[in-house]
């Protein structure tokens, strides 16, 4: 029998254990997730990682298919031996789930056959026909919400690996008009002085200020997204920001018919001491993600990033750029599904774009003078967020949670009157790059530092 009406057997009491197991994923689990299951890669179906279900934790689960995929290996045999218990598998199957099992060896050495096996099962067992009024398959909204939940887990798990003792604080919140979010904030770490990785899915009647902006008398909306900002302690490690969001607009409170929809997001890097190879790496990873969906996208969204993250009152960029895109609506050239795939591809590339930079710079030595300069530059970051940033202003004007919105601000900042760096210094080099943006891909090729 189906467990759909019971949230697919979700067991909130196993939530913390699921997080631990996700963080301690085996190499085979990581590979299966990264190459086959994440972001709808498996025939468009969304899978969840380490999903608490009944009294167990499934390695991977697809709600729509009621399919559980288990990875059996040394770790499972010694630490999670309950997964191999066929009696418990029988219990899951009695509740309506199907369990597919693969060994570590199969995934690491014969992934193509694993992929064929999963696809064959899905093709032979399509989802049950929907009841009247149901959708045939999960909507983009539902898939995107599932995607940002998984991405938040993946990013936070990786960032905690850098820390000795600091951990993300988890904070759920509800929006009065509808919906809510899950904030995760880390503070006073050995690598990250402050950082936040937040997700939200809010809905309801459009606030007056937004109705005016869209030039409509009434309307209802759904908005979901993930937003992150990381402020490292070491000034040699750059600050990074990224967010990925989806918006739907409706004519009436039933919110059944989508009148308009669009995607937005991007990622940008804000160094305090600039290594050219770091900027080249960041841009090259983002370009590769864009190029999967069209060679026209990276140049366009790179320029939009340079234009958007610009402090006009200072005549300089906030950082060395990245990508920025907004209002990506379906057109004759690209459908909403195309933009979904693009946005999730870029989001999934975030860790690859940033983690290697952290690895290279987190142990660099620095002086108190360099820390002082970092705080000066953080002041410019604050100026942009409070004066220009659309996301900050939108959140504050639509009843978003103030603590989550302002988590983007760094913990220690300073403003010195008429601060001017020493000529020909590393500080001066950074300012010159911020005042005169360059094509980092072209520069990397010319200087032979690409990749």
* Gap between the Cα atoms of 162 and 234, Å rounded: 13
Question: Residue 131 above 70 pLDDT?
Answer: no
Quick one: pLDDT band at residue 272, thresholds 50, 70, 90? Answer: very high
Identify whether 241 is a catalytic site residue. Answer: yes
Catalytic residue among 203, 231, 241, 283: 241
- Cβ atoms 290, 225 nearer than 8 A: no
**Domains detected in the chain:** 4-124 (3.40.960.10), 140-446 (3.40.1500.10)
Question: Residue 133 above 50 pLDDT?
Answer: no
Least-confidence region, from 73-77, 203-207, 239-243, 358-362: 73-77
Find all residues with CB under 8 Å of 291, minimum gap 6, and list them: 297, 298
Phi, psi (degrees; rounded to nearest 5) at 263 = -110, 155
Question: Residue 1 above 70 pLDDT?
Answer: no
Helix H segments across 218-296? 276-291
At 85 the pLDDT is 56
Count Cβ atoms below 10 Å from residue 215 Cβ, excluding itself: 6
Quick one: pLDDT band at residue 11, thresholds 50, 70, 90? Answer: low
- pTM reported for the whole predicted model: 0.78
Helix-strand-coil split of the chain, %, nearest 5? 45, 25, 30
Question: Span 358-363, mean pLDDT?
Answer: 97
Question: Can you name the residues that pair with 10 across neighbouring β-strands?
Answer: 53
- Cβ atoms 181, 221 nearer than 8 A: no
At 50 the pLDDT is 86
Residues 316-356: tens digit of each pLDDT: 999 999 999 999 999 999 999 999 999 999 999 999 999 99
């Amino acid at each position: 029998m189906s467990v759909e009406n019971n949230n697919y057997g979700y067991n909130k009491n196993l939530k913390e254990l699921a997080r631990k197991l996700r963080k301690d994923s085996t190499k085979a689990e990581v590979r299966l997730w990264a190459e086959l299951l994440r972001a709808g890669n498996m025939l468009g179906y969304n899978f969840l990682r380490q999903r608490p279900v009944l009294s167990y934790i499934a390695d991977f689960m697809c709600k729509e298919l009621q399919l559980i995929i288990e990875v059996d290996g040394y770790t499972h045999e010694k630490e999670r031996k309950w997964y191999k218990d066929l009696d418990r598998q029988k219990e899951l199957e009695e509740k309506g789930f199907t369990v597919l099992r693969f060994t570590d060896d199969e995934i690491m050495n014969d992934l193509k056959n694993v992929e064929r096996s999963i696809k064959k099962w899905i093709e032979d067992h399509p989802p049950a026909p929907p009841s009247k009024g149901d959708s045939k398959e999960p909507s983009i909204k539902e898939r995107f919400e599932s995607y940002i939940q998984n991405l938040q887990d993946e990013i936070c798990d990786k960032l905690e690996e850098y820390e000795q003792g600091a951990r993300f604080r988890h904070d759920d919140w509800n929006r009065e008009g509808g919906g809510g979010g899950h904030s995760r904030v880390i503070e006073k770490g050995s690598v990250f002085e402050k950082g936040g990785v937040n997700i939200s899915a809010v809905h309801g009647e459009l606030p007056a200020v937004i109705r005016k902006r869209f030039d409509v008398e009434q309307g209802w909306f759904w908005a979901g997204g993930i937003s992150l900002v990381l402020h490292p302690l070491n000034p040699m490690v750059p600050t990074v920001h990224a967010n990925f969001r989806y918006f739907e607009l409706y004519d009436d409170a039933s919110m059944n018919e989508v009148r308009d929809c669009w995607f937005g997001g991007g990622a940008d890097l804000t160094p305090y001491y600039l290594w050219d190879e770091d900027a080249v790496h960041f841009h090259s990873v983002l370009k590769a993600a864009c190029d999967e969906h069209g060679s026209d996208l990276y140049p366009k969204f790179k320029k939009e990033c340079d234009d958007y993250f610009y402090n006009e009152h200072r005549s300089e960029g906030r950082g060395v750029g990245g990508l920025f895109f907004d209002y990506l609506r379906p057109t004759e050239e690209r459908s909403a599904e195309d933009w979904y795939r693009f946005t999730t591809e870029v989001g999934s590339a975030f860790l690859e774009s940033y983690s290697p930079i952290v690895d290279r710079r987190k142990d660099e030595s620095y002086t108190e003078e360099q820390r002082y300069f970092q705080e000066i530059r953080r002041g410019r970051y604050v100026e942009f967020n409070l004066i220009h940033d659309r996301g900050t202003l939108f959140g504050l004007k639509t009843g978003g949670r103030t603590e989550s919105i302002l988590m983007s601000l760094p913990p220690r900042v300073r403003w010195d009157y008429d601060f001017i760096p020493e000529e020909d210094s590393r500080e001066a080099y950074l300012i010159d790059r911020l005042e005169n943006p360059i094509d980092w891909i072209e520069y990397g090729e010319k200087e032979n530092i690409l990749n």
